[in-house]
Structure 1
């Protein structure tokens, strides 16, 4: 796959097999000079070639980029097209690894939050995601999602934290959750996190202040965990003022 991406061309003899590919992992880091626009055009072309009724379901869609990726174009439309194609192809794993795409955040299509086949969702930053405005009722229901990662992903808006709560509640069979974030970028001085999940077995929370003690001292931060099936808890927190944990028979706490 890497050699194909590097040459940005597909031979005629290989094209029939290309339509049978079920795992995609793209990244501008493999591209000469990290050219994001060329990479985006290649990814779009690849997905269009595979996006038809006879195409097999996508097992994994991975996209990786660095700070140079969005140079010269807006990545929102590109990312939307990629994720919509993946959802249409009944994707099971989505892995987005981005680094500061652009200030102002990126948009994730609402269809991803109702994907019936999605089992693993990894969003790894640092980057910002536009949370839906408070007056927009966005449905969240991921019936098969068992693993969720939100690493340095900031849902910015007045409803940012509330949307994360809604996202977790919309995953009825979620077993593993990992959250890593920097509290310095909180939208409010009063931050209350409530993680409630009936099936959750493993919870990892890494909360950083990035050395900005003066800013973090002004935060009124509360963390509440309600997970009756919880078996493992990893909690590294330097800024939480109040922590409340309600769980079942915990096997291990780190």
Structure 2
């Protein structure tokens, strides 16, 4: 470009980005939602049709006044881009809960999709057709989210889409298929869907030879019954299983079979306790456990022996874990069914994040005894409702004597006696502790000072231990109130 041409464009105030080639502009617009990309069409004639060439469609029905406008927009896009062989991503978030799915369709519309819709007035057929088109155009990422109920809209062509890398489905029905092959699929998220059979779900998972990330969510409002969840994959690295709901809402999954030796992350959230069979789990980096063991102190004496076996067996299967987050609900089951017993050993556990109620703190040493090489523990403490001293066992867990280097409490300390005792327990017994981090509850200034001084006066077993005290964060209104109280104007 000549110097004269450059100077001319500078004088006219034209932006440099508009002179980039189309393929670069399309790449830029691919990184923003479709709604934002479309807005660029008003910038100038140069931008008017650029958005139609981007290889992705990311839309929400709430961005349109009705489904007719929504369908018209998608049809225009697909019509314009049908000369292209690729549609890299199709993401449709469809909310039919607050409006009629199809309103009167303008007779002036010439779109072939809407012409077909005039005869059927079936939005779900259109959605199925759009997904089928995406599959033929070598889609790589497909996200279909339906609200609030599931519908049979997924075409069988999805089961054999060789280019699909990521598939995320919510509230849809998956029909049976004799043949499933997804050779490139790495991410599979299945949330509140229905399946033709347990065998289809198993086939879908096992037909993804490079699958790395699987999320399976089954909530109580899903009208689907199944007995066995089978997850068998040699390539799987991350697995999230969520089984929520009430017994009277649905027939809960009773058995979950997990055979994925390469898992590095496992998250299980289960409110109705399936029987878990976890095999060949080598050494997962992190597990997140929030399982209800149907804790009921009145029933514990009646079914204690069988439940005790279930709890012990479950944690034995996870004995190789290195990093574990465990919920209060799960710990309550442990305390109830394995009380007065040594917990299963976790010899490789380095990091532990535990959610505890103050009434369970007396059981903490028992938990620490099962983690002989623990280096870091984060305690997320529930509200302290009871005063009084905590009574810890006289024996000091091995990890406190030899490995524990970091302790953090996630609840602001307000001066309750049991809180002070907890801090004292770790400071006085942790021989190699490097850092103890806690948060101090904001209150009257003299109270804060007294609590802080009491905490800092505690004897430390480790001479190199650093105590870090933060003040809890307050909202803007609370901060203004504090300023007025202390006359900080």
TM-score bracket, shorter-length normalisation: 0.7 to 0.9
Q: 1:80 to 1:181 in 2, by over 3 A?
A: same
Q: Specify which of 172, 175, 190 is matched with residue 131 of structure 1.
A: 175
CA distance in 2, matches of 1:39, 1:16: 18
TM-aligned CA deviation for residue 59 of structure 1: 2.1
Q: In 2, are the aligned partners of 1:178 and 1:203 still within 8 Å (CA)? A: yes
Q: Specify which of 164, 185, 188 is matched with residue 118 of structure 1.
A: 164
TM-aligned CA deviation for residue 221 of structure 1: 1.0
Query: Tell me, what secondary structure is at the counterpart of 1:51?
Result: coil
Mark the runs of 5 or more structure 2 residues left unpaired by the alignment.
1-33, 103-120, 289-489
Mark the runs of 5 or more structure 1 residues left unpaired by the alignment.
none
Deviates more, 1:41-50 or 1:165-174: 41-50
CA distance in 2, matches of 1:70, 1:248: 51
Q: 1:187 to 1:85 in 2, by over 3 A?
A: closer
Q: Specify which of 85, 90, 94 is matched with residue 61 of structure 1.
A: 90
TM-aligned CA deviation for residue 97 of structure 1: 1.8
TM-aligned CA deviation for residue 143 of structure 1: 0.4
Mapping of 1:158-197 within 5 angstroms? Answer: 159=197, 161-183=198-220, 185=222, 187-188=224-225, 191-197=227-233
Offset from partner CA, 1:33-67 (integer Å, 9 cap, x none)? xx112211221221122112xx1522211111112
Q: Which residue of 2 aligns with 1:232?
A: 265
CA distance in 2, matches of 1:112, 1:15: 33
TM-aligned CA deviation for residue 220 of structure 1: 6.4
CA distance in 1, matches of 2:156, 2:188: 17
Q: 1:235 to 1:46 in 2, by over 3 A?
A: same
Q: In 2, are the aligned partners of 1:75 and 1:106 still within 8 Å (CA)? A: no
Which is higher, the Rg of structure 1 or of structure 2? 2
TM-aligned CA deviation for residue 146 of structure 1: 0.4
Structure 1 length normalisation: TM-score? Answer: 0.81
CA distance in 2, matches of 1:89, 1:69: 31
Query: Tell me, what secondary structure is at the counterpart of 1:108?
Result: coil
Q: Which residue of 1 aligns with 2:76?
A: 45
CA distance in 1, matches of 2:37, 2:239: 38
Structure 2 length normalisation: TM-score? Answer: 0.44
Larger proportion of helix:
2
Q: Which residue of 1 aligns with 2:127?
A: 79
Larger proportion of strand:
1
Q: Is 1:90 matched up with 2:138?
A: yes
Q: In 2, are the aligned partners of 1:28 and 1:69 still within 8 Å (CA)? A: no
Query: Tell me, what secondary structure is at the counterpart of 2:243?
Result: strand
Q: 1:184 to 1:46 in 2, by over 3 A?
A: closer
Specify which structure has the bigger relative contact order, considering alpha-carbon pairs within 8 angstroms and separated by 6 or more residues: 1
Mapping of 1:215-254 within 5 angstroms? Answer: 215=249, 219=252, 221-246=254-279, 247-254=281-288
TM-aligned CA deviation for residue 239 of structure 1: 1.5
Offset from partner CA, 1:3-45 (integer Å, 9 cap, x none)? 6768xx9x9865653442112112211112xx11221122122
TM-aligned CA deviation for residue 110 of structure 1: 0.8
Q: 1:232 to 1:77 in 2, by over 3 A?
A: same
Aligned pair count reads 234
CA distance in 1, matches of 2:186, 2:68: 33
